[in-house]
Amino acid sequence: MTDRTYNVLFLCTGNSARSILAESILNKEGGGRFKAYSAGSQPKGEVNPHALKELDALGYPSTGFSSKGWDVFAEPGAPEMDFIFTVCDSAAGKACPVWIGHPVTAHWGVEDPAAAIGTEVEIQRAFAQAARFLKNRITAFINLPIASIDRLAIDQHVRQIGSLEGASVKSAKAE
């Protein structure tokens, strides 16, 4: 068993919903073994209030988040990432910065709850579903024996996690 903390970056386009949900969920569920961050290729500049409401309803931290560009994690002095997961299809298709240390990467696409239209209840249901799908992936991820398996096996496992229930169309076809 290792006392090492693994840095994980969740990426999406706007960094206002899915990546924020994933950051909060992993930081709590990871029990100190993981430090999660989030960023976007074209950050919205604010966190979606429905995402914060969903985190609060589920008992996850819902304060202190900001919508920021992924370039802040490619700058000198930024935390070195061990894992990077894209959670939206458009971020998966973008040219990402070159990451120091060559982290393990995978696409965990989930439909964008911020794009949901309808009543307040329908919109919040979309956020609840996205949070559930992300929590399922995160639970599978934190239960991997990361310290005792080789990188090729880790790569394979994290890619398979991306095809769990709720995988966006692009994710499902990529596997």
Q: Could you read off the pLDDT of 88-128 as tens digits, one per residue?
A: 876 545 555 666 677 998 999 999 999 999 999 999 999 99
Residue 144 catalytic? no
Residue 153 catalytic? no
Condensed to tens digits (0 to 9), the pLDDT of residues 157-173 reads 898 888 888 777 554 44
pLDDT at 174: 40
pLDDT at 98: 60
pLDDT at 148: 82
Residue 12 catalytic? yes
Spatial CB neighbours of 91, under 8 Å, sequence gap ≥ 6: 11, 12, 13, 40, 41
- Kindly name the residue from 17, 88, 110, 138 that is annotated as catalytic: 88
Q: Is residue 67's pLDDT more than 50? A: yes
Condensed to tens digits (0 to 9), the pLDDT of residues 130-144 reads 999 999 999 999 999
- Kindly name the residue from 8, 12, 87, 104 that is annotated as catalytic: 12
How does residue 68 score in pLDDT terms, banded at 50, 70 and 90?
A: very high
CA distance 67 to 175: 29
Residue corresponding to tokens 């569920």: 29
pLDDT at 171: 41
pLDDT at 52: 97
Q: Helices 120-142 and 18-29 meet at what angle, rounded to 10?
A: 40
- Kindly name the residue from 58, 74, 96, 123 that is annotated as catalytic: 96
Condensed to tens digits (0 to 9), the pLDDT of residues 2-56 reads 578 999 999 998 999 999 999 999 999 999 999 999 999 899 999 999 999 999 9
pLDDT at 167: 73
pLDDT at 1: 42
How does residue 155 score in pLDDT terms, banded at 50, 70 and 90?
A: confident
